[in-house]
Amino acid sequence: MLPRRAARIAANVTGVRAFSRLAHEGLDGLDKLASNVAKNPAFQRYDAAMAAARAGTWIATSPDMSNTSKRNEGIGEEIGGKVQAGVGKLIGNEQMQAEGKAHELSGKAKQAAAKGAERTKGKVQEVVGSAKGAVGAALKDPQIEAEGRVKELEGEARQAANRR
């Protein structure tokens, strides 16, 4: 842990020195700094998340959307239940119709559970991102602050995508 902290402190000191040097070079130095910031992966993720938030869309940027299969399973079960209930009604079989309705409701419940789990993950992601952003601001580290803001926006978007 200590070597990692020492490396981070050294990186911050190096970043401050680089910024100071670039600031003394005038506008060309600031253009170089802006170009370097724009190339930073954390800033690019932040920029993409901001664009998605402004557009009101959610782009899956993280591979941990694990409830998709549970949600799809629920959709399949709901559709299967509707078909079974319809066939039961068509042939006059009340038991088949009731079983179909039970499968339909079970599918809806699975979908609701998956959405709830995703909303919870989104809230956790939002809180962690907010905390990381606050730490970055306290340390005056724009990269950590930007990464925190990205996580926060991803969490908000994840919650919004699973409200419907």
pLDDT at 26 (0 to 100): 54
What's the CA gap between 151 and 100, in Å, rounded?
41
Condensed to tens digits (0 to 9), the pLDDT of residues 12-36 reads: 544 445 445 544 555 555 555 556 6
pLDDT confidence bin for 59, thresholds 50/70/90? very low
Q: Pull the structure tokens for residue 37.
A: 């910031």
Q: For residue 148, tell me if it sits in a domain.
A: yes
Q: For residue 22, tell me if it sits in a domain.
A: no
Q: For residue 57, tell me if it sits in a domain.
A: yes
Q: Does the pLDDT of residue 63 top 60, yes or no?
A: no
pLDDT at 138 (0 to 100): 93
Q: For residue 128, tell me if it sits in a domain.
A: yes
Q: For residue 31, tell me if it sits in a domain.
A: no
Q: For residue 23, tell me if it sits in a domain.
A: no
pLDDT confidence bin for 1, thresholds 50/70/90? very low
How many structural domains is the chain composed of?
1
φ and ψ at 122, to 5 degrees?
-65, -40
Q: For residue 33, tell me if it sits in a domain.
A: no
Condensed to tens digits (0 to 9), the pLDDT of residues 138-152 reads: 999 999 999 999 999
Q: For residue 88, tell me if it sits in a domain.
A: no
The runs of H, that is alpha helices, within the chain are 2-24, 27-39, 41-55, 68-91, 94-139, 142-161
What's the CA gap between 163 and 111, in Å, rounded?
11
Boundaries of domain holding 118: 40-67+109-161
What's the CA gap between 106 and 127, in Å, rounded?
32
